[in-house]
Structures are given as structure tokens and as C-alpha cells.
Amino acid sequence: MELRGWLSREELVNLYREAAGFIHVGEEDFGISMVEALASGTPVIALSRGGALDIVRDGQDGVLIDRAEIGLLRSAVRHVAETQWDSELLHRRALDFSAERFVERFGDILRIALSAR
């Protein structure tokens, strides 16, 4: 294991791409790092709360665990290591959270709101 300081965007992308999995056991409203990992084709292990519930589909994009407990984490890591993940499918999942997709969905909401007037 290696602890690193600041990384360039290119270095970070390469690390995500080379990783067998990405562990995120914090609770956040969104969690952009999980989307970045998926965009690089890397499955995610995350707590089943907060933004992870919107980003990671358990068994499809990674593994969700109930608690940051060593036994659950070990089991999730083993599951990720033993599963054949389709990096292209993981990448496409990340596209659901792209700026373009956000603008598209927000535009839809505005059109519906304006047509209801």
C-alpha cells in the first residue's frame, strides 16, 4: 500500500484504470470519486447510504455494504476480485452522471414545469 499526496488528473485516471476495485466507505450526498472510478471501468465497494445508493447498483457496478466493518469489507473485496466486471458497462454507468446528462434531465424538468403553467 502506498499513501500519495496530490495527483494530476492523468495520474488519478491511470490509478483508477489499473485498480481492481475502488473502496468508498464514507457517506456523502453524491461522491464524485465513485463516478470517476466507474468512468475508468473500475467497480466500486461502498456503504449502502447517501449518494452511493444512486450511483452503485449492487452486483452490477460493484458491491454495497451495510456497515464499514472489516468482515463485510473483506467479503466485498473478495466478491469484487472474483467477479468478471465489464469495464465498458461500468464506464457507461458513469455517463448517467455526466454534465450532458444533467443538462438534458434538467431541461426536461423545465419543459414539464413550463408546460404546466
Amino acid code (one letter) for 105: R
CATH number of the structural domain 9-115: 3.40.50.2000
What is the pLDDT tens value at each position of the chain, 117 positions in all? 688 899 999 999 999 999 999 999 999 999 899 999 999 999 999 999 999 999 999 999 999 999 999 999 999 999 999 999 999 999 999 999 998 998 998 898 999 988 887
How are beta strands 44-47 and 62-65 bridged, if at all?
parallel
**H helices present in 22-117, as ranges:** 32-39, 52-55, 70-82, 87-95, 99-115
Predicted TM-score of the model (pTM): 0.86
For the chain, the domains span 9-115
